[in-house]
Chains A and B, each alone.
Chain A
Amino acid sequence: MDGFVSLLHGFSVALTPMNLLWSVVGVTLGTAIGVLPGLGPALTIALLLPITFQVEPAAAFILFAGIYFGAMFGGSTTSILINTPGESATIVTAVEGHKMARAGRGGPALATAAIGSFVAGTIGVVGITVLAPVIVKWALMFSPADYFALMVLAFVTVSAVLGSSIIRGLTALALGLLIGLIGVDLQTGQARFTFGQMSLLDGIDVVIVCVGLFAVGETLHLATRYRRGKDEIIPIKGSLWMNGQDWARSWKPWLRGAAVGFPIGAMPAGGAEIPTFLSYFMEKRLSKHPEEFGKGAIEGVAGPEAANNASAAGVFVPLLTLGLPTSATAAIMLSAFQSYGINPGPQLLTTQPDLVWGLIASLYIGNVMLLVLNLPLVGLWVQILKIPMPYLYAGILVFATIGTYGISRSVFDLGLLYGIGILGFIMRRYDFPTSPVVIGMILGPFAEQQFRRAMTISQGDMSVFVTRPIAATLLALAALAILLPLVVELRRSLRARRAV
């Protein structure tokens, strides 16, 4: 029960007026960003990374956690009201929620999403509190070789799980690893892939990559297709509140969704799509009204939304205990840790208890704030969607520019930003997932470090990766995760070729 004592301590950190203020700012900003289609928490946190030079770590992470959960809430609002899922995790919400909104039940749909997220967030925070110390104990046994194997597994699952094609997912990952390699090698001081450019010696800033991919790329993509038609915002009619029947039909899906979402989020694989889809099909199967699914069943919003939020909380388990980010947002938080000179890992819980438990407590506080501040104000958030598109996207590019040019005042970096924006646009057109780029770029240098450390310990003997049981198991899992879908995909592609 040590964890809960620590959690109480965390609340004492997070509940200072100043930190509460950071949390309010975070959830408000996060919701605003989340409501806008195509913009997400990863981009927002990346743009705000320079704040780590200004404020103490606890405050920064409380702000980031608020943005993370706020953006999720905002994303589901958009899915329900205009049927434009901002991210793949809210696709299912859009299916049922938008139907509910069309039937004039947008209010209860938003309410069940918000309350479900709150319930799931609560379970998630309890889950982190229980699980984190256990994983830390286990992780302390990890040797560098085991760490390297774990990172390989995370790389593979992150790129295999996200997106429609494992080859394209791995390509995105390799691109990210390549970007992470640019700059001076920390162990030998050798410059790699800098081509004599001074600006590249420090490597490419994560802000440039995130903002380029997510903001510039998205804007370019939208520019080529916005004239094809407008999304219609469904006004919220009638009561915002759920009636007795809504409650009766929602509470079980919330609990089941959280029970599915948290463990999957906490695994080194991560990804919120799988739990949301799992929860959706589970609810469809268990529902007493399966015929309503596809026509606006409240269970189909309640379950997946809870699963989404619980898995988002779960992502903090590998991040805080192993230093292993499994989503783009988590990867950017890892680089925020780096910017403070803090190395997340098993030691973090003992060396930075204020920070870790303050962060976990603020996840919870963020959830409460979303419930009490954002749900009643949902009418206000929807107004954001009425900003005319030309002003909105031109503004996004101004902020992208200031976020990049402001760090370095370098025109070269600005060119890099726009160049990566073009890359993001092409990746979007050809359906490459972008999160593996960010994860590969940030986690890649850590993986290389662990690899070389393992090699130094074993004096260059590669067999450590197969003789250590933990490393061997993790690597075998990684190999399986690549080979199985790859074989299936290649067979299908060869068959399609024969058919032509």
Chain B
Amino acid sequence: MDRSRLGPVLVASAVLLTGIGVLWASTLIHVSPAYARIGPTVFPRIVGAALAVLGVLLLVNAFAGRWQCEATDAEEPPLDLVPLAWVAGGLVLNLLLIAQIGFILSSTLMYLLVAKGFGARRIWLAALVGFILALVAYFGFAQLLGLRMGDGLIEDLF
């Protein structure tokens, strides 16, 4: 199968599998007899069936090669994976560290990696901007919206 069809087939299969998964998961919902007729499983079943049917229709489209999008467009260059890896790395690092070292430091690190991914040359400047932005966001945004951002290495200094 050529590259332009593999992607759509995978996406369509994912939709179909989600639909089947939803149908299966709706059988796990406990239904009390009082609500047996129009209980909490009716909508989940409809949604699951819809996803399964749509998945099949998408598969038909995918195999027919009739799925015009960025991923199948021959004129589009292939995915530029290096910047994506930097950005994804930043997100993962943030996920791992935010509870340990706090929002400000963790997000500064993420800022650094994402900026690097988008081609920032002066890393120290990106680090500084990221740190100030996180600091301002932490106090400004959090105060204005009343968000609780939790503790961390920098947060505890104040």
Contacts and interface: CB of A to CB of B under 8 A. Distances in A.
A54 B147 contact: no
Contacts of B137: 398-399, 402
Interface residues of B, number: 82
A429 B25 CA distance: 28
B47 A174 contact: yes
B134 A398 contact: yes
A458 to B, nearest CB: 10
Dominant SS at the A interface? helix
A409 B110 CA distance: 17
Most buried by A among B11, B15, B43: B43
A406 B142 contact: yes
Contacts, number: 224
Contacts of A181: 43-44, 47
Contacts of A193: 22, 25, 44
Contact of B110 (A185, A190, A394): A394
A170 B50 contact: yes
B84 A220 contact: yes
A430 B67 contact: yes
Given A185-B40, A220-B88, A406-B149, A394 B130 contact: yes
B35 A391 contact: no
> For the complex, would chain B's binding face be called helix, strand, loop or mixed by DSSP majority?
helix
Interface in A354-411: 388-391, 393-395, 397-399, 401-402, 405-407, 409, 411
Given A431-B69, A492-B66, A389 B118 contact: yes
Interface in A286-322: none
B61 A394 contact: no
A167 interface: yes
B142 A426 contact: no
A493 B60 contact: yes
A429 B70 contact: yes
Contacts of A397: 87, 90-91, 110-111, 114
A187 B29 CA distance: 14
A488 interface: no
A314 to B, nearest CB: 29
A364 B48 CA distance: 43
Contact of A224 (B80, B99, B130): B80
Contacts of B145: 48, 50-51, 53-54, 406
A224 B79 contact: yes
Nearest to B50: A174
A249 interface: no
Given A192-B29, A406-B142, A496-B66, A398 B110 contact: yes
B17 interface: no
A138 to B, nearest CB: 27
A224 B83 contact: yes
A444 to B, nearest CB: 8
A493 B12 CA distance: 15
A219 B107 CA distance: 16
Contact of B103 (A167, A187, A401): A401
B83 A171 contact: no
Identify the 7 closest CB pairs spanning chains A and B, nearest first.
Answer: A406-B147, A431-B69, A390-B120, A390-B118, A390-B115, A394-B114, A455-B38
20 contacts: A48-B145, A185-B40, A223-B118, A226-B118, A391-B120, A394-B114, A397-B114, A398-B107, A398-B134, A399-B137, A401-B107, A402-B142, A402-B147, A405-B150, A406-B147, A411-B98, A414-B94, A421-B91, A428-B70, A497-B64
Given A48-B145, A223-B83, A401-B103, 12 more contacts: A51-B144, A188-B31, A190-B29, A226-B80, A390-B117, A390-B126, A391-B120, A395-B130, A397-B90, A405-B103, A411-B99, A421-B91
